[in-house]
Structure 1
Amino acid sequence: MDTPSAADGRRPTGAGGGTRRPRAAAPALYGTALALAVALTALLLPVRPALRLSDEGDTIGHLPLAEGERFTIAYVHSIDGLPIEEDIGVRDGHLVVEATRLRQFGAGMGHIPGEGTGHAEGEWWVIEGIDRDIGTELVLRVGSPAVDHRIRTPGDEVRLSPCLAARPVTVEPVRVPVLHLLLGGDPEPEC
């Protein structure tokens, strides 16, 4: 019987008669595991800015908000029944009122001297350049369904009044893992 030897260039066979496999698969397996670990780390690190909405400490959900984007609090004025929209930006973890849009000056509404400039824009009166820092969180007392409080980001809108009327909803900028945003879904208040 002819047995292979190192001298004739043939590899010895294993007990099952087959040839041994080279160990090159181990580095490929390590590379794949490393790539998977890097991808999971990127998805789990708190790297994406978002708004956390919470009801008395219980998180309702998160709205993605990219750096430099603003969100809008929209509602209907409870006395004159006309819509109002307030644009708020996030700067260094603080909420900053940047602009207000309204149809007419109602009770408690209007331009405050020294805070921005106003101009007509179609049916709206727009006050821009307000730059009023309101802190690291905003507690919004949600109005009745007729008030129709909503929070809008460039990619989403959450209606608060149908389920949370007369409740305090806290809006605060946070950083959350990308995976959390992908799997968390849109924040929808429970009725």
Structure 2
Amino acid sequence: METASPPHAGRPADAGRPRWPRTAALLGAGAVLTALLLPVWPALRLSDGGDTMGHLRLAGGEPFTVSYVHSIDGLPIEENLLVRDGRLVVDSTRVRQFGAGMGHIPGEGTGRADGEWWVVEGMERDIGTELTIRVGAPAVDHRIRAPGAEVRLSPCLAAHPVRVEPVLLPTLLLPLATVPEPEC
């Protein structure tokens, strides 16, 4: 007596079922797409009158500097800021001499001499989610420095309000995140 083979004998176990892309491949492609689109790179967006001029990438935890020449005494000032939880925090100030509103305020950091400079460190002054700089004349020489880049504002943007705000950039946009070059 012969026995009949079951209807699926000799065929692969998944024969007759719809073929779907492998879950692992989908998850892998989703992870790549997510990594490209998620905002993960810290940067500063610089805007002039609401128009984005460009971005300065920040290295994790490193400060950026706003520098200028004081309009009264003609000496340089450097403000070092950090980004913490999307907020701007003044970390330290460097000045060449004390003047009105300059120097150490009791309870805000510690002051020390550093060659020709007076430095106040550990200020921890939270100034909010953005900083607007009313750019001074070319002699004031407003600049913003981040690791590996510097933007000179005064030559082209005197009397303009330039807004500086921390942002997170997606990996996909990093090649487009150019250092702002103010046009005259």
* Alignment TM class, shorter chain as reference: 0.7 to 0.9
What residue identity is the alignment partner of 1:161? S
Q: Which residue pairs with 1:58 in the alignment?
A: 51
Tell whether 2:40 aligns with 1:44.
no
The one of 79, 87, 101 equivalent to 1:94 is: 87
Q: Which runs of 5+ in 2 are unaligned?
A: 1-23
Q: Which residue pairs with 2:62 in the alignment?
A: 69
How far residue 35 of structure 1 moved from its aligned partner, in angstroms, is 6.2
1:95–1:137: 8 Å Cα contact kept in structure 2? Answer: yes
The one of 78, 88, 101 equivalent to 1:108 is: 101
1:137-168 Cα deviation digits (max 9, x unpaired):
11111111000000001121111111111111
Counterparts of 1:12-23 in structure 2 under 5 Å?
none
How far residue 105 of structure 1 moved from its aligned partner, in angstroms, is 1.1
Q: What is the CA–CA distance in structure 1 between the aligned matches of 2:60 and 2:169, rounded to whole Å?
A: 13
What residue identity is the alignment partner of 2:120? I
How far residue 135 of structure 1 moved from its aligned partner, in angstroms, is 0.5
Give the TM-score, by structure 2 length.
Answer: 0.81
The one of 174, 177, 184 equivalent to 1:184 is: 177
Query: How many percent of aligned residue pairs carry the same amino acid?
Result: 73
SS at match of 2:123: strand
1:79–1:107: 8 Å Cα contact kept in structure 2? Answer: no
Q: What is the CA–CA distance in structure 1 between the aligned matches of 2:174 and 2:94, rounded to whole Å?
A: 30
1:143–1:166: 8 Å Cα contact kept in structure 2? Answer: yes
Give the TM-score, by structure 1 length.
Answer: 0.78
How far residue 113 of structure 1 moved from its aligned partner, in angstroms, is 1.4
Tell whether 2:159 aligns with 1:159.
no
Q: CA RMSD in A?
A: 2.3
Q: What is the CA–CA distance in structure 1 between the aligned matches of 2:85 and 2:28, rounded to whole Å?
A: 32
Query: Over alpha carbons, which structure has the higher Rg?
Result: 1
How far residue 48 of structure 1 moved from its aligned partner, in angstroms, is 0.8
